[in-house]
Amino acid sequence: MDPQAKTAELEDQCRYILKAARAAGADEAFVSASYGLSARIQYEKNDFNLAAYHEGGGFGITVHKDQRQGAASVNTFSKEAVDEVVRQALAFARFSIPDEYLGMAEKSDYIALPETFDPGMAELPMGELRRLAEAMIAAAKHDARVSLDGASVERSAGVHVIANTRGVLASDHSTSLNWYLMGMAIEGADVTSFDHLSDFAYFLPGVESKVLETAGNLAQRLLACLGAKPARSFKGAVLLPACAVDELLLDPIVYHIVGRNIMDGKSRFSNSLGETIASPSVTFSDDPHDIALRGCTAWSGEGVPTRGMALVERGVLKTHLDSVYSARRRGTKPTGNGGGPHGPLLAQGTRSLAELRRAASPLLEFTRYSGSVDPITGDFSGLAKGGRLYVNGADQGPVKETMIAGNTFELLRRDLIMSDERFDDSGSYRLPCVLVDGVSVTSAAS
């Protein structure tokens, strides 16, 4: 695949679609078009079970007509499809409710991000994928007690173009290798909870060692859960892994600083700019240009340029996040991350994980949260998977059937202690582990 040629082709398609929309009566139109190809080796039931190829593309269009909005999409670029999709989008718009705040992004310049397209990756043969997958599986199953329910290695290449009738025209292209493993450890009648890890890389050089590292880490995590016993119930300290920090602490903050929720009266932070909303140890920011993160982008889905920004600095709320629509409603400017941060970062602390495990007693540490969090109230409750209990810093071994419950906004006000190391689980974010107090821990043994 030649990314430049494919980009040019998609740009032409976008221009044609916008022209068709205007010709059909749209006042404004936005189009998003993409093309991609992939090859995948899949492992299930402790054996290889599928090799698959995919190639596809398509586009979606949003139209505004008499201040009404409609949208449609299809997985082809044929002329008939373009005409039909434009007709459908306008049909939805015709019966929609007029909204004077509808708008589209203005033409902008975007920063050039580092290249993330590796021609070698785009053309990686299925045989080479299979060899990588074999190595990954062998690394995960070096201990016979590890059972893999599923795993895959997939290479993909894609091009994405957006354009609107105000002159926005932006594109990006990239390749990636994505790998994933899910499994459990089994020793006699002892079956651990399942766990999974995944990661990605844009480029071929060095990828094999990253793949093997992920596999080894999963095996280590699974084996550490063998012999788990129910813990005991208490209210106290929990060491949150990065994935739970994201889900339990950061996602609720984002919910309340998104412009759409502010304009709809759903936010508790609508009047909190400049106010303290969290512990001074919380500095939360968005870096949309960190290419090691999956959300890395120079432009938002609407075509607004992205930029790095502090969301919460030493506990003080610094900004709200606005889309084009919410900005028009609220009389602000779109921030390029109206749906949430592209590259969430949380500042690390100064204490090691080992130190944090000794910092409170009893203390529950876990690797995965399986539960719910209500972003509106901040109430959360769910299972702490891959748990270990520490008493006076001493490891009491793995625990199971243990639930945690609490409230995000109460926790944020407490003294949160960040680890000195940050984690980028699957390239989703860069977050430390966080020691929190005041969490209800309920055990099946109670």
Partner 1 sequence: MQEILEEIARRQPCYVELRYHEHVTSSLMAQKGRIDQAGTSRHQGVGVRALVNGSWGFSSTSNLERGAIESAIGRAVEAARELARSQKKKIPEFSPMALSRADYEEPGYKELRAISIEDKIARVVETEQKLLKESALIHTAVVRYNEIFEHKAIATSDGAACSRRLVRPEFRTAAFTGSGSEQQVAGRGVGVTGGWQCLFHHPSAANMVGETAREAVELLKAGHPEGGVKTVILEPALVGLLCHEAVGHTVEADFVQSGSVAKGRLGTRVASDLVTLCDSGIPPYSGGPGGYLPFDDEGVPCRTTTIIENGTLKSYLHNRESAAIMGAEPRGNARAWNYADEPIIRMTNTYMLPGTMALEDIIASTADGLLVTGAGGGQADASGEFMFSASSAFEIKQGKLGRRLREVTLSGVAFDVLQTVDAVSREFRWDMGSGYCGKGQPAKVDAGGPYIRCRLMVGGRQEG
Residues 130-149 that bind partner 1 (CB under 8 A): 130, 133-134, 147-149
Q: Of residues 377, 392, 415, 421, which one binds partner 1 by CB under 8 A?
A: 377
Question: What is the nearest approach in angstroms of partner 1 to the Cβ of residue 134?
Answer: 6
Site for partner 1 in 175-214 (CB under 8 A): 183-184, 186, 191-194
Q: Of residues 235, 275, 333, 391, which one binds partner 1 by CB under 8 A?
A: 235
CB 231 within 8 A of CB 364: yes
Q: Does 223 bind partner 1 (CB under 8 A)?
A: no
Task: Return the ∠ at Cα 436 (arms to 434 and 439), rounded to 5°.
Answer: 135
Q: Does 73 bind partner 1 (CB under 8 A)?
A: yes
Question: What is the nearest approach in angstroms of partner 1 to the Cβ of residue 68?
Answer: 8
Q: Tell me, residue by residue from 4 to 43, as one string, x for binding to partner 1 by CB under 8 A and - for no binding.
A: -----------------------------------x-x--
Q: Of residues 217, 234, 289, 340, which one binds partner 1 by CB under 8 A?
A: 234
Please give the single-letter amino acid code of residue 160.
Answer: H
Site for partner 1 in 114-133 (CB under 8 A): 126-127, 130, 133
Q: Tell me, residue by residue from 298 to 337, as one string, x for binding to partner 1 by CB under 8 A and - for no binding.
A: ----------------------------------------
Question: What is the nearest approach in angstroms of partner 1 to the Cβ of residue 289?
Answer: 30
Q: Of residues 72, 105, 238, 399, which one binds partner 1 by CB under 8 A?
A: 72
Q: How many residues bind partner 1 (CB under 8 A)?
A: 87
Q: Tell me, residue by residue from 257 to 296, as one string, x for binding to partner 1 by CB under 8 A and - for no binding.
A: -------xxx-x----------------------------
* Nearer to partner 1 (CB atom), residue 152 or residue 285: 152
Site for partner 1 in 42-71 (CB under 8 A): 44-58, 60, 62, 68-71
* Nearer to partner 1 (CB atom), residue 24 or residue 74: 74
Q: How many CB atoms lie within 10 A of CB 330?
A: 16
Q: Tell me, residue by residue from 82 to 101, as one string, x for binding to partner 1 by CB under 8 A and - for no binding.
A: ---x--xx-xxxxxxx-x--
Give me the residues paired with residue 357 across strands.
none
Q: Tell me, residue by residue from 403 to 422, as one string, x for binding to partner 1 by CB under 8 A and - for no binding.
A: xxxx--x-------------
Cα 129 to Cα 49, 133, 178, 402: the distances in Å are 14, 6, 11, 39
Question: What is the nearest approach in angstroms of partner 1 to the Cβ of residue 376?
Answer: 5
Q: Tell me, residue by residue from 355 to 374, as one string, x for binding to partner 1 by CB under 8 A and - for no binding.
A: ---------------xxx-x
* Nearer to partner 1 (CB atom), residue 54 or residue 107: 54
Q: Does 79 bind partner 1 (CB under 8 A)?
A: no
* Nearer to partner 1 (CB atom), residue 136 or residue 242: 136
